[in-house]
Amino acid sequence: MDSNLYTVFEGSISGNPMVSLDKAILATYEREGKRFELYVDPDAAYSYLEGQKKDLKNILVAEEIYEDAKKGERAKAADVQKMFGTTDIMAVLEYILKHGEVQLTTEQRRKKLEEKRKQILAILLRESMDPRTNTPHTPTRLENAFEEARITVDPFKDAREQLPDVIKKLRPLIPLKFEKVRIAVKIPAAFAHRAYGTLKGWGMKQEEWAKNGDLICVVEIFGGEQGDFYDKLNKMTAGQVETRVVGTGP
């Protein structure tokens, strides 16, 4: 039996339980015309990339670095040393996981794409407004625009880094304005102390206590947060809160 396949069946790497090649995925790094591939466990690699798993144990399936894993062609030791500064396979694994590409199973890719899409939508809902009404867009309106614009997201790229491209594609279909809103708030004395911590959490910029115990303050929030903000204040004060928009800004 070929030695590189022997490790797959024996599970000899750091006590890794047997994982068959048909369930393994490829972690790949390519640079300067050279390609390096590793067989990795999909669940363990995914957990590591998500930050749920902190160590490299049980990620490798085969203790071999390939230049073409599907053909069984191993990478030359000299090429590995030149590219990574070491031939230690665990060091190479760590580098490829951080800087290379990791193949996902169909289910993992679907899940990761959906998570990233939700993150981007959450940012838009929180921070954008409809400039025609100065009110937040509804989730349904943004989701429909997403579908109509046929926006695709990168499952590995940070959600905020993808925003400029997403916004560019959405703007022909839905007006978007990004700015913060400053809201003056007056809380009756009976609810003031209970509401104080919540208002601090939202971003209180100024505060003043009236002689009768009322709390008067200015809170700065993203335009898209107004609905949630007013709902929380009304629930905390039984509807006895007074609010007024006193300014907007970037």
Domain with residue 193: its CATH number is 3.30.70.240
d(Cα 134, Cα 128) in Å, to the nearest integer? 9
Beta-bridge mates of residue 29: 36
d(Cα 16, Cα 51) in Å, to the nearest integer? 20
Per-residue pLDDT at 11 exceeds 60: no
Per-residue pLDDT band for 250 (boundaries 50, 70, 90) equals: low
Residues in the chain: 250
Same domain, 25 and 113: no
Average pLDDT, the chain: 88
Domain boundary among 139, 155, 177: 177
Same domain, 83 and 122: no
pLDDT at 19: 60
Mean pLDDT for 124-141 is: 89
Structural domain containing residue 73 = 3-102
Q: How many Å separate Cα 93 from the centre of its chain?
A: 23
- Which CB contacts under 8 angstroms, 24+ apart, belong to 67-75? 67/34, 67/35, 67/36, 67/37, 68/35, 68/37, 69/26, 69/37, 69/38, 69/39, 72/2, 72/4, 74/4, 75/34, 75/36, 75/37
Domain with residue 128: its CATH number is 1.10.10.900
Question: What does the pLDDT look like over 133-172, one tens digit per residue?
Answer: 878 889 999 999 999 999 999 887 889 999 999 999 999 9
Domain boundary among 86, 102, 118: 102
Per-residue pLDDT at 17 exceeds 60: no
| Secondary structure of residue 173 in the 3-state scheme | coil
Distance of CA 195 to CAs 83, 148, 184, Å? 58, 41, 14
Tokens standing for 179?
């700015």
Helices (DSSP H) in 50-175: which residue ranges? 77-84, 89-99, 106-127, 139-148, 159-170
